[in-house]
Copies of this chain bind each other. A is one copy, B any other.
Amino acid sequence: DFRRAIHEVPPSFGATDTQFENYAENGIFNYGPVFDKLLQSGNAFVEQVKKSNRTPMMSVLLHGKPGCGKSSLASTLAKGSLFPYIRIISPNDLIGYNEASKASKITKIFEDSYKSPQSCIVVDEIERLIEYVPIGPRFSNLLLQTLAVLFKKSPPKGRKLLVIATTSNPDILRDMDITDSFATALNVPSISNSSDFKNVLLSLEFTQKEAEEASSYFSAPITIKQLIMIVEMARQEEGRLVDNFRSCLEDFNLRSF
């Protein structure tokens, strides 16, 4: 494993403090009722795991378009649980490890959670974790099987565990028969109406007037991550912000291939 050469002393994997910094970098904008309900559902799962003895283990799958905010939402729910043991398992932290090492690190995080009275584990971008690619298709069956068992395995008597997993590709998870391992699933939507669109722009420091004008250019669902990028592009150019925004939005749609 070449990784060893790079980090003689690897940082403690998935540790809370530094890791959560990299999520929800631009904060969480409460852009409307759709998002509100989503947040509420997420928090309800936290409560159930905390209180019910018949369901001491729950695993939830967050799914939605690339950039819709899955990772940010998952990490926010985990942090908000205030459980003594919270961790994020992310492909970003596993570059350069081989299948077996990845499986080992993931398993370790779950086994450690079994020692804490209450735990929450975020498993981010399952399809990337299992190294999925549609051509073939190929993926790591070792990682898939490891996750499939861990998503379903109860912690020891008296311990509680909430697992929040994310994916941009729920269809292939179903094709892999792994969705039965989850107790339930939640869809994270794109920005799909001009009111939500306007609210996001306001959060991005558009004035009320700018936001109103700009939101009239809303024509098709767009993810929150893309919207942030387009606003930033617009800000780099000279001229009226809203005009720049309009042309950047158009360019973006053309360039997408």
Residues of A within 8 A of B (CB): 1-3, 5-6, 21-22, 25-26, 44, 47-48, 51-52, 54-55, 63, 66, 91-92, 95-96, 100-101, 103-104, 107-108, 111, 127-128, 131-139, 141-142, 144-146, 148-150, 153-154, 157, 168-170, 172, 174-180, 183-187, 204, 228-229, 231-233, 235-237, 252, 255-257
Contacts and interface: CB of A to CB of B under 8 A. Distances in A.
A121 B161 CA distance: 29
Nearest to A131: B145
B92 A153 contact: yes
B55 A232 contact: yes
Given A2-B100, A54-B231, A131-B142, 7 more contacts: A25-B54, A133-B178, A135-B137, A136-B137, A138-B141, A168-B180, A184-B252
A175 to B, nearest CB: 6
21 contacts: A2-B107, A3-B104, A25-B54, A26-B54, A54-B204, A54-B228, A54-B229, A63-B257, A95-B153, A96-B103, A96-B104, A96-B107, A96-B146, A128-B149, A131-B145, A133-B176, A135-B139, A135-B172, A168-B180, A184-B256, A185-B255
Contacts of A183: 229
Nearest to A229: B55
Copies in the complex: 6
A190 B93 CA distance: 40
Contacts of A185: 255-257
Contacts of A6: 104, 107-108, 111
Contacts of A111: 6
Contacts of A233: 44, 48
Contacts of A170: 257
A5 B6 CA distance: 21
A175 B91 contact: no
Contacts of A134: 175-177
A229 B44 CA distance: 13
A195 to B, nearest CB: 22
B146 A236 contact: no
A107 B95 CA distance: 8
A81 B187 CA distance: 40
B25 A236 contact: no
Nearest to A152: B92
